[in-house]
Structure 1
Amino acid sequence: METTHRPAAGEGGDRRPIAARNTGPANALAAWLIARQASPNGISAAGMAAGLLAGLALAGTAWWPGAARPLWVLAALLIQLRLLANLMDGMVAIGRGVASPVGELWNEVPDRVSDTAVLLGLGVAAGSPALGLAASLAAMATAYVRTTGRAAGAPSDFRGPMAKQQRMALVTALALFCALAPLYWQAATPVWSLPAWALVLITALATLTALRRLLGTAQALRSASAAGDRA
């Protein structure tokens, strides 16, 4: 049996709010995939593959400087393919009405792999794998707080300011800028490059995001407990 990415068919509280989900092209693509009995797990796996390849393309800008510009473009395209797969897997699963106890694994694990690959790859591009690792850990903390809160009984908290979409949008914009802008436009400071500064920003704002989610989840759990006591 195919597996959905949400055991309860993606009810509102457990679905990330994505404006593109309500657009005509997104629904047309989802309908096309549903008509062909596309596997939600296969779409998730394809998205993870795109994330891994994006990370390699980003790292490749440092390994093969002569090919840096096309590699930056390739990384941006692969990141967007990863996000498209993230959008389609849930829509297809819900559209086909398939479910499984392992749906949550397919919902979460490929995202964590993709995030880590992209941010570590950007760290290599920046000349500082340590910055990539720091950003990866901060990104993982945002997901950890959300999933832990949901397991404790709170609604899924997708608030930012540096959730998955914002992280990937920033890396995509940076990649396109590095691919298209003259080199002298790309100078940041004598110490750090633009990719390094992007990683610092992601780390700082993802840490803030994790903290906001933690506080919001704690408040939601306290409110639910107080409501239960009054009932």
Structure 2
Amino acid sequence: MTDANFSTNRRPVAARGSAWAAKLTTLAVQRGLTPNQISMASAGFALLGLGFYVVSPLGPGFVQWLCLILAAIACEARMVCNLIDGMVAVEGGQGTPDGAFWNEAPDRLSDLMLLTGAGIAAGNAGLGAVAGALAIACAYLRELGRAEGFAPDFGGVFAKPGRMIALTIGTVVAAFYATEWSLQLTLWVIILGTSVTLVGRAYRLIEALNARKL
């Protein structure tokens, strides 16, 4: 498993080299924030997003609009936390022995909360739950490959960054137009894209396992 879809240890993220990410990392280190705390904060933003999604169908037009915009912001705040926790751990030298747990567990919970929440806002919680389950399955295959001694497979258009971009855009569109229809379409796109990503990772892992000398 050595093609361009793989990184030796971290997801390739262009924003990691940006000035704003470096400034946030420096600020977090100066404030004494640990990577694990930032990872937990990412789940906190996901929980807020879930709450905004759940409440959005209950209010009048402006309340629904506001909740969906706030849900989209929560999605992106979660992603910023996902970026900064690793930078504080690696670039900031603040990694801990239990960091692997806090890097993964809140992330899986966040996927499920945000995607299920979007399903609730779309009037179809099951659709969101399926999207969340597929997201967790993608992460599982990546970590299974890592456990087998391969570099982690971050490949796929609908790996986490792609999913979250789609969810954020779909949520913003839903705030202005045909909320349920827009969110349902967004979730179907995420389900399809994540399924393709899942199959691709499964194929590459099986190929790598079969190619390995016993």
**TM-score relative to the length of structure 1:** 0.84
1:148-167 paired onto structure 2 within 5 Å: 148-167=144-163
Question: In percent, how many aligned pairs have the same letter?
Answer: 35
AA of the residue aligned to 2:10? R
User: 5+ residue gaps in structure 2?
Assistant: 1-6
Match of 1:193 among 181, 192, 195: 181
**CA root-mean-square deviation:** 1.7
User: Which residue does 2:3 correspond to in 1?
Assistant: none
1:1-231 paired onto structure 2 within 5 Å: 12-66=7-61, 67-179=63-175, 181=176, 183=177, 186=178, 193-223=181-211, 225-226=212-213
AA of the residue aligned to 2:207? Q
Q: State how far apart, in whole Å, the 1-side matches of 2:123 and 2:60 are.
A: 12
- Check conservation: 2:35, 2:95, Cα contact below 8 A: no
Q: State how far apart, in whole Å, the 1-side matches of 2:158 and 2:204 are.
A: 15
CA gap of 1:95–1:35, structure 2 versus 1, over 3 A, is farther
- Give the Å deviation of 1:216: 1.1
Q: State how far apart, in whole Å, the 1-side matches of 2:14 and 2:91 are.
A: 18
Q: State how far apart, in whole Å, the 2-side matches of 1:13 and 1:218 are.
A: 19
Q: State how far apart, in whole Å, the 2-side matches of 1:205 and 1:136 are.
A: 12
- Give the Å deviation of 1:36: 2.7
- Give the Å deviation of 1:65: 4.1
Q: State how far apart, in whole Å, the 1-side matches of 2:127 and 2:150 are.
A: 32
User: 5+ residue gaps in structure 1?
Assistant: 1-11
Larger radius of gyration: 1
AA of the residue aligned to 1:210? L
- Give the Å deviation of 1:98: 3.4
- Check conservation: 2:50, 2:71, Cα contact below 8 A: yes
Q: State how far apart, in whole Å, the 2-side matches of 1:47 and 1:160 are.
A: 22
- Check conservation: 2:163, 2:190, Cα contact below 8 A: yes
